[in-house]
Each structure stands twice: as structure tokens, then as C-alpha cells.
């Protein structure tokens, strides 16, 4: 446990470029943000309705050094003031990952600093214990064992975290990730990319009980499936094909969002109970969803750790945070380390 274990002080420069955000941050002791700079490409990809890998890679090349420079400047530091460079190795888009990893390697060679390769999903997990930018105090340290629900654009999985850096994967999605389902359903409803925030916005003005969409519980497993739900939304949309002006977008968005939240909350709470977890952790881009955050806060009998909104979607603060715990545990990468686009947590 963080409060009981003694961790040495260290300042980590983090670099993240796994998808469509180029980000750099300096974090002290795994939890204190000294600077965070993120260049988002969302507007560039919105015209394609999703992330266009080649465009993402080129844009990372253009921005990565400027973003790193700015993060050091905002922390009033030069490279000689940090103890290690942490960078996302995977999972993610190969062409995007390689830009951040090569930048990190170049800086590590030039400065002689150790290089720490980080799993992007582990970054999302450690985002929960970063001090939010507007707050004076650190959030309370985690209590293990902890049941983590990771929900992002590429992942939906339940992990039991038994200690720092120790994960036992209980199950995951058999088809779409939760964020992917939000993005695809948004497209069906004619809402802009990224789909998650668009659906959340539309759902505010909708009735979640208008459509009774299926909740796939996959009893007896800790797996998820969202393809049936997606198909049910598609069928509901098709029923309006002769009357598209009257498509009840807000009600469809609200009914879909409620179905996703019901499944995620109830399966996570059941797993937490089954494994005797002391706390729950919600992380990944979809953890920004207000209905999901509210669902957990309302129904969980045990403490729920949820990252500050500013840390939910991809950022380098979380990579520096996870990198710190790797670094102090002695996990330093070789300079010939390669990107791992399909890296898993456990």
C-alpha cells in the first residue's frame, strides 16, 4: 500500500503517443504533476469519423519535440533535473507508438537517463492516484486487493490488482470495447467523433427508458459483449429509415448509455464481491462518462477510485506516474526496446 510502503523520490518525464494525443508531462514521486502538455488531434480525425493512423503518425512527428520541450519548460526544468524518461510502448497504433518511443530513446541516449517502457493500460490505472491539477491534496493511496475496470477505445477488461504492478486478468470483451461501442453507435446516430462525449451530451436530453436494449451479462464469466446491444440500436435506427427527421437521437443515446452503464457497474460490483476487493478502480477514456461515474458512486458498497476528468483520456501524466512505480521497482528498459502494439496488462 502506498502509505505503508516507502518509495524513494524521483521525477519522471513521461511521453505518450499511442493514439491521437501527443503528450508530455513531468511528475514527481508518481503522483505530483509538475507539468502536463497535450496536443490533441481530435479535430483532424473528426472528418474521417475516427483515428486515421497515417495522419496520426505524421502529426506526432510534427509535435512531439515541441510538446516535450514545453513540458520541461512549464516544470522549470531541463533534462538534467529528471531521473528517468518513461514512454508508452503499447498497446496502441504501431506508427504512433514508434514516434514517442524514438523521441524517448533519442533523449535517453543524449542525456544518459534511464528509459522506462510503460504499458498504456497501466498508465490509465495509475492516473487515479495523481493529484488533480486544481486540488491541493493527493487522493488517498490505494488499498489492495483492488478490482479495476479498464474501459477505453480499445479495451474493456476486469483485472484484480493484488499489489503495485501485479495484475490478474479476470475477463474482457469478446467483441467491441466499450469506447468502440460508444463511437460506433454515435456514428449510427449521426453524432460527431469522438462518440463517447457526443452520446453523453445527447443522452442528457433523452429518456433512458424509451428503448429496452439488451444487457448481455454473460453469467458465470467476467467477460463482456457489446455487439448485441450495437445491433439492437442499429435495428431501432432502421425502423426510422422512412422518417429520418424523427429519429429520436437523444432517447436512443440515453437508452444505449444506460444499458452500457448497467452492465459495466453490475459486473464490476459482482467481481469485486467475489474476489473480496477492498476498493474499485475505474479507468480509461470511458471513465470520463458522467453516467458511469455516477452509477459506480451510487451503487458501490466499497470505495471507488475514479481519475480526475483531466486524466481520463490519454495523457502523459499517467505514463510518468506508472513509469515512476516501474522505475523505483528497478524496471529499466534497454535502449533497443521496441514498440508493442498488442501489449497486455498481465
Among 314, 317, 321, 323, binds Zn ion (CB under 5 A): 314
- Taking the complex as a whole, the smallest distance from the CB of residue 190 to Zn ion amounts, in Å, to 25
Of 191 and 280, CB closest to ligand KG4: 191
Alpha-carbon Rg for the chain in angstroms? 20
- Distance in Å, CB of 343 to Zn ion, minimum: 12
- Of residues 59 and 152, the one with the C-beta less far from Zn ion: 152
Residues found near ligand KG4 in the complex (CB under 6 A): 19, 152-154, 179, 182-183, 194-197, 200, 284-286, 288-289, 313-314
Q: Minimum distance from CB of 245 to ligand KG4 (Å)?
A: 26
**In the chain, how long is the greatest CA-to-CA distance?**
65
C-alpha neighbours within 13 Å on the C-beta side of residue 112: 2
Considering beta carbons, is residue 234 or 309 the nearer one to ligand KG4?
Answer: 309
Please identify, using beta-carbon distances, which residue of 182 and 222 lies nearer to ligand KG4.
182
Burial classification of residue 244, based on how many CB atoms lie within 10 Å of its CB (0-12 exposed, 13-18 middle, 19 or more buried): exposed
**Is 152 near Zn ion (CB under 5 A)?**
yes
Q: Which stretch binds Zn ion (CB under 5 A): 83-91, 159-167, 192-200, 309-317?
A: 309-317
Comparison of 36 and 72: residue with beta carbon closer to Zn ion: 36
183 binding partner (options Zn ion, ligand KG4, none; Cβ < 5 to 8 Å by kind) = ligand KG4
Q: Is 183 in the site for Zn ion (CB under 5 A)?
A: no
Q: How many residues contact Zn ion, by CB under 5 A?
A: 2
Amino acid at each position: 500500500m502506498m502509505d505503508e510502503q516507502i518509495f524513494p523520490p524521483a521525477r519522471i518525464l513521461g511521453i505518450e503517443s499511442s493514439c491521437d494525443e501527443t503528450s508530455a508531462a513531468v511528475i514527481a514521486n508518481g503522483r505530483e504533476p509538475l507539468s502536463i502538455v497535450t496536443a490533441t488531434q481530435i479535430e483532424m480525425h473528426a472528418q474521417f469519423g475516427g483515428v486515421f493512423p497515417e495522419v496520426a503518425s505524421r502529426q506526432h512527428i510534427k509535435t512531439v519535440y515541441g510538446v516535450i520541450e514545453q513540458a520541461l519548460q512549464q516544470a522549470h526544468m531541463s533534462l538534467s533535473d529528471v531521473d528517468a524518461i518513461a514512454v508508452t510502448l503499447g498497446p496502441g497504433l504501431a506508427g504512433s507508438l514508434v514516434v514517442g518511443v524514438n523521441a524517448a530513446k533519442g533523449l535517453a541516449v543524449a542525456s544518459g537517463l534511464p528509459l522506462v517502457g510503460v504499458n498504456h493500460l497501466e498508465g490509465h490505472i495509475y492516473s487515479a492516484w495523481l493529484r488533480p491539477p486544481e486540488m491541493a491534496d493527493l487522493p488517498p493511496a490505494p488499498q489492495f486487493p483492488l478490482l479495476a475496470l479498464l474501459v477505453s477505445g480499445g479495451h474493456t477488461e476486469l483485472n484484480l490488482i493484488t499489489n503495485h504492478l501485479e495484475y490478474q486478468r479476470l475477463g474482457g470483451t469478446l467483441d467491441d470495447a466499450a469506447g468502440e461501442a460508444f463511437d460506433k453507435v454515435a456514428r449510427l446516430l449521426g453524432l460527431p467523433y469522438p462518440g463517447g462525449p457526443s452520446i453523453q451530451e445527447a443522452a442528457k436530453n433523452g429518456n433512458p427508458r424509451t428503448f429496452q436494449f439488451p444487457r448481455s451479462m454473460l453469467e458465470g464469466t467476467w467477460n463482456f459483449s457489446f455487439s448485441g446491444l450495437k445491433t439492437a440500436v442499429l435495428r431501432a435506427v432502421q425502423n426510422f429509415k422512412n422518417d429520418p427527421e424523427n429519429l429520436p437521437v437523444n432517447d436512443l443515446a440515453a437508452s444505449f448509455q444506460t444499458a452500457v452503464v448497467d452492465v459495466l457497474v453490475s459486473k464490476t460490483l459482482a467481481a469485486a464481491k467475489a474476489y473480496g476487493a477492498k476498493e474499485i478502480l475505474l479507468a480509461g477514456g470511458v471513465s470520463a462518462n458522467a453516467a458511469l461515474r455516477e452509477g459506480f458512486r451510487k451503487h458501490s458498497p466499497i470505495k471507488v477510485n475514479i481519475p480526475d476528468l483531466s486524466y481520463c483520456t490519454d495523457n502523459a501524466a499517467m505514463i510518468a506516474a506508472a513509469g515512476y512505480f516501474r522505475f523505483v521497482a528497478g524496471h529499466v528498459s534497454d535502449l533497443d526496446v521496441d514498440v508493442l502494439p498488442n501489449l497486455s496488462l498481465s
